[in-house]
Structure 1
Amino acid sequence: MADAKVIPFDDDRARGSAPRAGRRRAPGAGSGGPGGAAARRRAEPAAAGDAVPEPGDVPAARDGAKVRAVPVPGQTSGVSGAGDASARGPEPADGPGKTEWPEDGDRAGEGGGWERRLASGLAFLRRRVTGDYEVDEFGYDRELTDQVLMSLLRPLYDSYFRVEVKGIENIPAEGGALVVANHSGTLPLDGLMMQVAVHDHHPAGRHLRLLAADLVFMLPVVNELARKAGHTLACAEDAETLLNRGEVVGVMPEGFKGLGKPFGERYKLQRFGRGGFVSTALRAGAPIVPCSIVGAEEIYPMVGNAKTLARLLGLPYFPVTPTFPLLGPLGAVPLPTKWTIQFGEPIPTDGYPPEAAEDPMLMFNLTDQVREQIQHTLYKLLVQRRSVFF
């Protein structure tokens, strides 16, 4: 297998159960109170001369709400007893003995929630089996990503790495944007965590489409999952197409140089290439959002690189860590470091003329500006960090 190439950047239940509190009743007239029908018959002669208010004089109570007794003409307001409306509380809608108290309503709501989730899950499975779902021209399956893939990554994001997100509002609420981030960690978990951060925390519920090296699309299973999750080949054509469609695109210009750098060079950005990602952003008129990720460098401390083995396997590097390959598969478990992902102020590109995408000096300057902003933010986050694991 040849060395992987990088982006040519270079490298109706609620209504039926509502208590009918809109009509004031004589004591004992409620069907749910002691005495039932007999109490109603006893109350009718006494109430014959009373003026009965029209329904709606008192606002109807919702499920589980307390009903305040309102004095009826000719009736003492302080009267209490088993048949008094204020003592009985809300009347049932389904007949005697069916009163639902607030906690009963809560339990019913929970049951309804589980039923809805079950029905939704069964409908999802039916669509998958029958093929009644949509993918775009890149193979992106939004429904599968939202309901399955993000659910699989979320425990790693929330509980294992305990990712803290800052500046998510810097990603525009609409339109295309290019997120440029540092790359590290031996395995590309940082890109996946960045994808979860945008998916779960952006106010507009945006999705991040990552650009990946061709090696990702040569691996069985990984290839299909990457396409389903919205990733595509790191090339200028695909990136520009996504940006022009108004997608948020993520790129890590360091490529394998950043992903496989030694532990001693952690948080030192590698070369960003000749600015291919800047040229793509300029042609699409999309803002560039710098992103700094702290915590990924320490998940697999790479203390060595078996280059001969890497060449035999067709890999850009073969990592040697304190636990891998010494502990075998157990050594592939990442260390539970504490992560911070910060999205910086966007750098606009829509103010440049169309020919600016071919200006090498402008591309160099913008590339250097993005790189310096990411590096400065990394140093600042490292100073603020209390510990690698906390």
Structure 2
Amino acid sequence: MADAKVIPIGDGGRRSRDEHEGPDEVDSVGGVGGEPTLAALARDAAPTPSAAHGGLDQALARTFAFLRRRLTGDYEVDDFGFDEDLTDEVLLRLLRPVFERYFRVEVRGVENIPAEGGALIVANHSGTLPWDGLMLQVAVRDRHPAERHLRLLGADLVFQLPVINELARKAGHTLACAEDAQELLERGELVGVMPEGFKGLGKPFADRYKLQRFGRGGFVATALRARVPIVPCSIVGAEEIYPMLGNSRVLARLLGLPYFPVTPTFPWLGPLGAVPLPTKWTIQFGEPLETRDQPPEAAEDPMLMFQLTDQVRETIQHTLYKLLVGRRSVFF
């Protein structure tokens, strides 16, 4: 990413039928003779005042503890700028409702991600704006039993934008260069890469779920040098959040962007056009491709790199097709 956590709800305070004094007595779920009513079920499902109060107390205590750490400087930031405390307490908390309720992401195969040590997660990229990278980060953190952090490799543009640059660094992202990626992998971190880059993110809606070129295999060479497994990842649902019907190249050049999307809602609805459609997502992690059995000089063999790159790409593409065939609807 034992994927989901089960929260016991309890029996709602229901009494045994043996405790009734008569057959027509109204039982604890509000029905006659044991038949529940809607109001009673809602009452039983709702948290008690004491439980709600306890949850509020815990939330306030956690918030005050976070603010205290920020004011006293009692938190750590690594040399890449990753602020784990801010990521867990603020950034991921803001993304979690989008992950769970808006896109309703289903995560499969999370057990294929190692519980410890370095690994390179390679995923497809799509959706006009990089929501898929953010949802992938939440999926690994929340669904993996070890609750690991994913360090995403981003394009130069991400780190040239004000505010976005700072947030990306705080969330653990770093520049997509071989040196940074290898250092993180050798430290035992999970590193995420989307080799399609802007070619995948800004492709037309007509080309949805057709993987673009994976570059020259630099991610494979990095994994080989660090001797870490490569985990292919397929993401379905992101392609439809902003159906890109056109690309204004003139505006893209003026704004210094790789593309300027034209969708059914953007730019026609202004800022509202930037709200993604609530599609149903699936993220599936495939079986890892081990690199430890490769010789040390394997990273310098271009033929081997191309072969492994194609193998990862074909695995992701084949899984995308399988997920699409099994999908009932774009939105359900």
2:254 alignment partner in structure 1: 312
CA positional deviation for 1:121: 1.6
Distance 1:350 1:338, change over 3 A: same
1:61 alignment partner in structure 2: none
Task: Name structure 2 gaps, 5 residues minimum.
Answer: 1-47
2:314 alignment partner in structure 1: 372
Residue 363 of structure 1 pairs with residue 305 of structure 2: yes
Q: CA separation in 2, counterparts of 1:110 and 1:323?
A: 40
2:138 alignment partner in structure 1: 196
- SS where residue 273 of structure 1 aligns? coil
CA positional deviation for 1:127: 1.5
Q: CA separation in 2, counterparts of 1:308 and 1:155?
A: 36
Q: Deviations over 1:286-316 (max 9, x none)?
A: 1000000000000000000000110111100
Which amino acid is 2:86 matched to? L
Residue 264 of structure 1 pairs with residue 264 of structure 2: no
CA positional deviation for 1:250: 0.2
1:381 alignment partner in structure 2: 323
CA positional deviation for 1:116: 3.9
1:325 alignment partner in structure 2: 267
Which amino acid is 2:78 matched to? D
% same residue: 80
2:239 alignment partner in structure 1: 297
Q: CA separation in 2, counterparts of 1:276 and 1:197?
A: 25
- SS where residue 284 of structure 2 aligns? strand
Q: CA separation in 2, counterparts of 1:163 and 1:114?
A: 27
2:114 alignment partner in structure 1: 172
- SS where residue 134 of structure 2 aligns? helix
TM-score by length of 1: 0.71
Q: In structure 2, which of residues 173, 176, 180 is the aligned counterpart of residue 234 of structure 1?
A: 176
- SS where residue 128 of structure 1 aligns? helix
- SS where residue 200 of structure 2 aligns? helix
1:38 alignment partner in structure 2: none
CA positional deviation for 1:130: 2.7
Q: CA separation in 1, counterparts of 2:60 and 2:250?
A: 52
CA radius of gyration, larger in: 1
2:163 alignment partner in structure 1: 221
Matches within 5 A, 1:92-241: 111-112=53-54, 114-241=56-183
- SS where residue 387 of structure 1 aligns? coil
Q: In structure 1, which of residues 337, 341, 358 is the aligned counterpart of residue 279 of structure 2?
A: 337
Q: CA separation in 2, counterparts of 1:107 and 1:159?
A: 25
2:185 alignment partner in structure 1: 243
CA positional deviation for 1:119: 2.5
Q: CA separation in 1, counterparts of 2:163 and 2:142?
A: 25
Q: Deviations over 1:343-376 (max 9, x none)?
A: 0000000111111100000000000000000000
Which amino acid is 1:310 matched to? A
TM-score by length of 2: 0.84
CA positional deviation for 1:113: 5.1
CA positional deviation for 1:131: 2.2
Q: CA separation in 1, counterparts of 2:95 and 2:174?
A: 19
- SS where residue 114 of structure 2 aligns? coil
Q: CA separation in 2, counterparts of 1:115 and 1:190?
A: 34
CA positional deviation for 1:194: 0.4
Of residues 127-136 and 167-176 in structure 1, the stretch that sits farther from structure 2 once superposed is 127-136
Q: CA separation in 2, counterparts of 1:187 and 1:114?
A: 35
Q: CA separation in 1, counterparts of 2:51 and 2:253?
A: 59
